[in-house]
Amino acid sequence: MQLLRKLSDLPAAVRGGALAIGNFDGVHCGHRYLVERLLERARAVEGPAVVFTFDPHPVRILRPDAAPPPLTWTDRKADLLAELGVAAMIAYPTDQTLLELDYRQFFATIVVEALQARAVVEGPNFHFGKHRLGDVQCLRELCTAHGIGCEIVPPVQRISGLVSSSRIRALLQAGDVAAAREMLGYPYRLRGLVVHGAARGAHIGFPTANLDGIDTLVPGYGIYAGRGQVAGRWHPAAIHIGPSPTFGDALSRLEVHLIDFEQSIYGQLLEVEFEHRLRDIETFASEDQLILRIRQDIEQARELVHSVRQ
């Protein structure tokens, strides 16, 4: 899988295939179905399956205050697409020049000239070009005019509803990591740098890794069961997101207790996956009551993560 970041001097191996354009944030089940069709189209035209995405999301430039928190960082997105069989992902550096292209110019520049696509696969809500004035009907007409195959795939539905990145964000912000997992097709993952905190966890016998510099969405307040990755190895974890009211601390933190793990990992990047939400943030009458509940949380997290991974 090739991760490319510019259109100049594109390798010949990524041209003349099937193309999908979009943000692909989260690479969720809807994206996965679209990629299945993309791969089928690529086989039909005997070319590569290529995804063209944007880094950053155009909204972060056009309306930064309204930009949604991403579900995946660029390298993670590329890894997920590679697992599905995509040959190349172009993470184009979004700039004002790109955003000024109307939909006809965008199509000519990206689809026809740069990638010489022979097939295009998109979802029903696809929009492109300046002010998002190009829609799937415009796409069909342009593809027909250039002799390019065009397929519009239907949305995907799960028990929790239609799958979309915005719906997954809402679920995560509500703490419903189980429903988010159903729509993603895998446990939600984030990453952060392990920094020094107040050391309260270590003081009461449960050291935690405090994460900073998180570049994706943080789920809603609560205690979660999940996993943390250190040096390529996953460990079950109990995860705290929010304030620490028992200690009178209103500052929100993301703290990860890696179960049965005692090494120092300060200064390292820690990736964390969320499996289940255990409970709300609570205020306890005493430190002893808090310790008892944390022990219960850890045992529950251990059992849940172990059962999921069987």
Which of 158, 176, 204 is the C-terminal boundary of a domain?
158
Threshold 0.95, pTM exceeds = no
Q: Which of 96-100, 267-271, 298-302 has the lowest mean pLDDT?
A: 96-100
Contacts of 228 (CB under 8 A, 6+ apart): 209, 234, 235, 237, 256, 258, 270, 271, 272, 273
Kindly report the CATH number assigned to the domain that includes residue 274. 2.40.30.30
List the domain range (segments joined by +) for residue 66.
Answer: 2-158
The reported pLDDT for the residue numbered 193 is 97
CA–centroid distance for 93 within its chain:
18
Q: Is residue 67 part of a domain?
A: yes
Q: How many CB atoms lie within 10 A of CB 244?
A: 20
- Partners of 268 in beta bridges: none
User: Is residue 102 located within the same domain as residue 20?
Assistant: yes
Q: What is the predicted pLDDT for the residue at 59?
A: 84
Q: Considering the domain boundaries, does residue 177 fall inside one? A: no
171 assigned to some structural domain: no
| Number of neighbours of residue 137 by Cβ within 10 angstroms | 9
Q: Do both 130 and 7 map to the same domain?
A: yes
Query: Are residues 132 and 226 both part of a single domain?
Result: no
Please report how the helices 177-184 and 165-173 are oriented relative to each other, as an axis angle in degrees rounded to 10: 160
Among the residue ranges 41-50, 69-78, 244-253, the one predicted with the least confidence is 244-253
In a domain, 191, yes or no: yes
d(CA 297, CA 29): 30
Mean pLDDT of 5-34: 94
Which tens digits make up the pLDDT trace of 84-93?
999 999 999 9
Same domain, 281 and 215: yes
Most confident range (mean pLDDT) of 62-71, 198-207, 247-256, 264-273 is: 264-273
What is the reported pLDDT for 159? 82
Task: Please report the pLDDT score of residue 54 as a whole number.
Answer: 92
pLDDT for res 310: 52
Say whether 9 sits in a helix, a strand or coil: coil
pLDDT on residue 198: 74
pLDDT in tens, 215-232: 999 999 999 999 999 989
154: its two tokens? 């239907």
Asked if residue 133 and residue 66 are part of one domain, the reply reads: yes
Which of 72, 106, 78 lies closest to 91, judged by CA? 78
Contacts of 272 (CB under 8 A, 6+ apart): 189, 190, 191, 192, 211, 226, 227, 228, 229, 237, 239, 254, 256
In the chain, what percentage of residues exceed pLDDT 70? 98
Instruction: Tell me, yes or no, whether 26 and 151 share the same domain.
Output: yes
Do 215 and 297 sit in the same domain of this protein?
Answer: yes
Q: Could you tell me if 10 and 137 lie in one domain? A: yes
**Is 27 domain-assigned?**
yes
Instruction: Collapse the DSSP code of 226 into the 3-class scheme (helix H, G, I; strand E, B; otherwise coil) and give the result.
Output: strand
Q: Are residues 28 and 148 in the same domain?
A: yes
Distance CA 152, CA 138 (A): 12
Q: Is 180 inside a domain boundary? A: no
- Does 309 score more than 70 pLDDT? no
Domain assignment present for residue 47? The answer is yes
Whether 124 is in a domain gets the answer yes
> Residue 95: which CATH number?
3.40.50.620
Give tens-digit pLDDT for 174-201.
999 999 999 999 999 999 999 988 777 7
Shared domain for 235 and 134, answered yes or no, is no
Per the listing, tokens 């004035």 go with 133
Contact 146, 121 (CB under 8 A): no
The region of weakest confidence among 34-38, 197-201, 260-264 is: 197-201
Q: Are residues 221 and 287 in the same domain?
A: yes
- Please check whether residues 65 and 204 belong to one and the same domain: no
Nearest Cα to Cα of residue 92 among 20, 215, 3 = 3
Report the pLDDT value the prediction gives residue 205, as an integer from 0 to 100.
80
Span 80-104, mean pLDDT? 94
Mean pLDDT of the chain: 93
- Which of helix, strand or coil describes residue 180? helix
Domain count, the chain: 2
